[in-house]
Amino acid sequence: MSEPFLIGDGMTGGYGKGPDILHDCTIAVDKGEIAVIVGPNGAGKSTGMKAVFGMLNLNKGSVRLDGEDITKLSPQDRVAKGMGFVPQTHNIFTSMTVEENLEMGAFIRTDDFYETIEQVYELFPILGDKRNQPAGELSGGQRQQVAVGRALMTKPTVLMLDEPTAGVSPIVMDELFDRIIEVARTGISILMVEQNARQALEIADKGYVLVQGANRFTDTGQALLADPEVRKSFLGG
């Protein structure tokens, strides 16, 4: 098996000088695929993804993007390398308009990014309609679209989403998942942490079930959904 496009390999580490939260945890995603991290509360799901993005100190293990070792890079440098990250909260500039949010997403780009903005509007038509409204005035689902759109502005090869559906209604959640699939179809790899495990695994090419900072089950989304043990322990039967 060839090396996946992005892999956090055998990661062990924690925040600052605190105790280790992750224990030999491996998370990977291939080109154009959707990988989903699920697990119980406090399992280290978000931490695992933040480790891939360089937001905590790794004592062991490495992170490689397209074969290149990026373990030592800061999150900002990883953005420049083509990784996009959408935090779970505070992920938009509330006082700025939708379009300004997208412009800020493209801050590190020196070329003309208006084409990318148009692409984001195509993907999320509602944002095009509300481009001149302050992002803070939008609904929860629309805010998440702004957040994703902002991260897409660097034309990333990998998009990482931290619980994108937290706090939105089921209908909005379905719509968001549809959009995420569309993003993946454009060739962008998606790594996502999700609380709504069942729905997320349904769209996932690959699923990681983490427990206490370590891999418990790893398989395709469909296989995990079918696995009776996973269903019993993590999907509520």
Partner 1 sequence: MDILNAFIALANFVLIPAISYGSQLALGALGVTLIYGILRFSNFAHGDTMAFGAMCTILVTWLFQSWGISFGPLPTALLALPFGILGAIAMLLATDRVIYKFYREQKAKPVIFLIVSLGVMFVMNGVVRFIIGPDDQRFSDGARFIMKARDFKQMTGLSEGLAFKTSQGITIVTAVVVVALLFWFLNKTRTGKSMRAYSDNEDLALLSGINPERVVTITWIIVAALATIAGVLYGLDKGFKPFTYFQLLLPIFASAIVGGLGNPLGAIAGGFVIAFSEVTITYAFKKVLGYLMPEGLEPSSLVQLLSTDYKFAVSFTILIIVLLFRPTGLFKGKSL
Tokens of 13: 């580490």
96 binds partner 1 (CB under 8 A): yes
Residues 50, 143, 150, 206: which binds partner 1 (CB under 8 A)? 150
Instruction: List the strands of the sheet with 206-211, edge to edge.
Output: 83-86, 158-162, 189-193, 34-38, 206-211, 214-219
Q: Which stretch binds partner 1 (CB under 8 A): 62-70, 83-91, 156-164, 210-218?
A: 83-91
Whether the CA torsion 155, 159, 160, 166 is positive or negative: it is positive
217 binds partner 1 (CB under 8 A): no
Residues 9, 33, 103, 162: which binds partner 1 (CB under 8 A)? 103
Q: Are 217 and 25 within 8 A, CB to CB?
A: no
Identity of the residue, 38 or 106, whose beta carbon is nearer to partner 1 in the bound complex: 106
Identity of the residue, 87 or 167, whose beta carbon is nearer to partner 1 in the bound complex: 87
Identity of the residue, 83 or 201, whose beta carbon is nearer to partner 1 in the bound complex: 83
- Which residues bind to partner 1, rule: CB under 8 A? 75-76, 79-80, 85, 87, 90-96, 100, 103-105, 107-108, 150
